[in-house]
């Protein structure tokens, strides 16, 4: 829960995670779905999977940033 609060309260973590997700997610999407995209045969199920491909790098980046921040400066302040 503490890490979620840090992500929500620190905009720089979310922006960094979004940038990484866009880059890594695009590479992964092209590796996994590029053939279907370029052939024009993507259906709704494949588009959903392609969009979810961006979620994993976002979550990994945001979580690792939170862990690093907490380890470097101690626990995040408590919110009321």
Query: Hey, where are the domains in the chain?
Result: 2-73
The alpha carbon of 53 is separated from its chain's Cα centroid by a whole number of angstroms, namely: 9
pLDDT of res. 57: 95
pLDDT of res. 19: 95
Distance (Å, whole) CA 15 – CA 13: 6
Q: What is the mean pLDDT of the chain?
A: 85
- Helical spans, DSSP H, in the chain: 2-9, 11-39, 44-52, 55-73
pLDDT of res. 80: 46
Instruction: Render pLDDT for 29-49 as a digit per residue (tens, 0 to 9).
Output: 999 999 999 999 999 999 999
pLDDT of res. 47: 93
Residues in Cβ contact with 33 at an 8 Å cutoff, skipping those fewer than 6 apart = 42, 46, 49, 50, 53
What is the model's pTM? Answer: 0.73
pLDDT surpassing 90 at residue 12: no
């Amino acid at each position: 829960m503490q890490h979620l609060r840090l992500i929500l309260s620190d905009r720089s973590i979310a922006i960094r995670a979004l940038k990484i997700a866009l880059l890594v997610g695009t590479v992964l999407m092209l590796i996994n779905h590029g053939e279907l995209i370029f052939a024009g045969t993507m259906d709704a199920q494949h588009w959903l999977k392609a969009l979810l491909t961006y979620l994993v790098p976002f979550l990994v980046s945001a979580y690792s940033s939170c862990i690093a921040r907490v380890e470097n400066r101690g626990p995040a302040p408590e919110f009321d």
